[in-house]
Structure 1
Amino acid sequence: MHYVVLKGHQGGYQLTLKQNGGFTEIIAELSALFAKLNQERADQAQPDEKIVGFKIDTENRLLTDEEKQKIQALIEQYPQFRVEQIESGVMTRAAAQEWKEQDSLHTSRLVIRSGQEVKIDGDVLFIGAVHRGGILRATGSVYVIGTIEGVIHAGYPDQETAIVVGDLSQAIQVRIADNVDILADSDQTFTPRSVTYINDLHLLDYGDLDELKTIRPKLYNKIGEA
């Protein structure tokens, strides 16, 4: 029975390591396969010197770091072959916890004073206060019920689909991903239903919560299902 399946794709190849195969058997099959591939390239009239990349799918098997290193070393003993990535259909516990944090709405009652910077993973319902000179960063969206007099940064560092909902009339600055708007001298009008977002031109823009279905359809549907 074959525990290693090789398929070609544009720009390289994919190796599927069947989850029902023992690691020893898989290593043996990989050794035979790459010895054969190496010989075939050597037998060409004009050997192709281009480096060939392999993406490896381990199905529902989670390899240890040591097992990944063994596979990578086996393949890359041939200079013309390299491993581009190794992916699995299952998550590590750490990755699952990180995903849960990112997908959760956190409630924060923090008071962030001048000179302080607080970072929160995921979306946050903020009912605390950010004093002038303080910074609140969230990797997701921020829903403001509290008071923002300092800087609020959603989508940190590069999540452009994040939004800020709420009254930013006292805020010094608002950021989403790497877009910044100085509000201290702005004539932008805010209400508790204001939405700050990045538009299709990749610029910070403002709207109302009633427009969320148009601004962020996926987020609107997610909230509607909650």
Structure 2
Amino acid sequence: MHDKKQLITIKGTREGLTLFIDDSCSFDEAIEELQDKLFTNPPKDDEPVVSVRVKLNNRYLNDEQKEKLKSIISYESRFTIHSFESDVLLRKDALSWKEESEIKAVNRIVRSGQVLEVKGDLLLIGDVNPGGKVVSTGNIYIMGSLYGIAHAGFEGDRNAFIAASFMKPSQLRIANYISRAPDYESDGVYMECGLIDEEFDKIIIDRLQVLSSKRKELSGFERRMQNG
């Protein structure tokens, strides 16, 4: 006779506990087994509160189910839920992630008084003239000359960067950091990038090649651009 398949598995880690919920059973079945496990092994009153990560695999929980799980774990044991981790994305979340992670290619000149703003990374094939401005939630690549203002990571991404074929901006901004024109060579620089240096807590200009070591998450497309 085969043993009954376990629907709930609890493993200890350095950070606390990880609770795995089998994704092939119903939610009610998982809850029933979880309650049985907690009732069979109740914690002592002097035990510290333990943080729990809930691994759902290919299961999605709505808010009501999450609250039910939280109440069982909090009230029937000395556990607290740190996070729910699922491999399932809602359609709206997937579309939002796609919009914020894809590269938007634009072929134009951004003239004085104009603002070009995108979600995700911006690849501009053209110049940013003095008085023009480009803004993105991600990185900014300019295959042309940057004379105006560029603001990367404007929703707070401190890992964003700005790269240009020729860089002589009136202002660079990354997240909430600002660097003005006097920080650059008066004649401008070729194939350089601007990024936040955590050690000096400011925006610096460096060779484009440093991105592969300082930004490990670069995609293949971005690495090809960087290497020419």
- Please classify the TM superposition score into its range, dividing by the shorter chain length: 0.7 to 0.9
Quote the residue 2:105 is aligned against.
107
Quote the offset at 1:147 in angstroms: 6.8
1 CA distance for matches of 2:139 and 2:224?
17
Gaps of at least 5 residues in structure 1 are 42-46
User: Do structure 1's residue 162 and structure 2's residue 160 form an aligned pair?
Assistant: yes
Q: CA 1:135–1:76 in 2, change beyond 3 Å: closer, same or farther?
A: farther
The one-letter code of the counterpart of 1:30 is: L
2 CA distance for matches of 1:187 and 1:67?
58
Equivalent residue of 2:57, what SS?
coil
Q: Can you list the C-alpha shifts for 1:46-79, whole angstroms capped at 9, x where unaligned?
A: x324211211001111122221121112212237
Quote the residue 1:34 is aligned against.
38
Equivalent residue of 1:13, what SS?
strand
Quote the residue 1:98 is aligned against.
96
Quote the offset at 1:6 in angstroms: 0.9
Quote the residue 1:19 is aligned against.
23
Equivalent residue of 1:76, what SS?
helix
The one-letter code of the counterpart of 1:87 is: E
Contact map agreement 1:120 1:137 (CA 8 A) in 2: yes
Q: CA 1:111–1:206 in 2, change beyond 3 Å: closer, same or farther?
A: closer
Quote the residue 2:218 is aligned against.
219
What TM-score comes out, normalization by structure 1 length?
0.77
2 CA distance for matches of 1:214 and 1:57?
32
Pick from 76, 83, 86: which aligns with 1:88? Answer: 86
Aligned residues: 217
Equivalent residue of 2:194, what SS?
strand
Contact map agreement 2:22 2:56 (CA 8 A) in 1: yes
Equivalent residue of 2:206, what SS?
strand
2 CA distance for matches of 1:118 and 1:78?
54
The one-letter code of the counterpart of 1:22 is: S
Contact map agreement 1:19 1:58 (CA 8 A) in 2: yes
Equivalent residue of 1:30, what SS?
helix
Contact map agreement 1:104 1:123 (CA 8 A) in 2: yes
Q: CA 1:214–1:62 in 2, change beyond 3 Å: closer, same or farther?
A: closer
- How high is the sequence identity, in percent, across the aligned residues? 25
2 CA distance for matches of 1:110 and 1:83?
51
Q: CA 1:51–1:185 in 2, change beyond 3 Å: closer, same or farther?
A: closer
Quote the residue 2:139 is aligned against.
141
Q: CA 1:185–1:216 in 2, change beyond 3 Å: closer, same or farther?
A: closer
User: Do structure 1's residue 57 and structure 2's residue 61 form an aligned pair?
Assistant: no
Contact map agreement 1:213 1:220 (CA 8 A) in 2: no
Equivalent residue of 1:84, what SS?
strand
Q: CA 1:190–1:208 in 2, change beyond 3 Å: closer, same or farther?
A: farther
**Which segment drifts farther, 119-128 or 215-224?**
215-224
The one-letter code of the counterpart of 2:191 is: R
Contact map agreement 1:136 1:151 (CA 8 A) in 2: yes
Q: CA 1:72–1:205 in 2, change beyond 3 Å: closer, same or farther?
A: same
User: Do structure 1's residue 206 and structure 2's residue 205 form an aligned pair?
Assistant: yes
The one-letter code of the counterpart of 1:205 is: I
Gaps of at least 5 residues in structure 2 are none
Deviating above 6 A after TM superposition, structure 1's stretches of 4 or more consecutive aligned residues are: none
Equivalent residue of 2:154, what SS?
coil
Contact map agreement 1:173 1:184 (CA 8 A) in 2: no
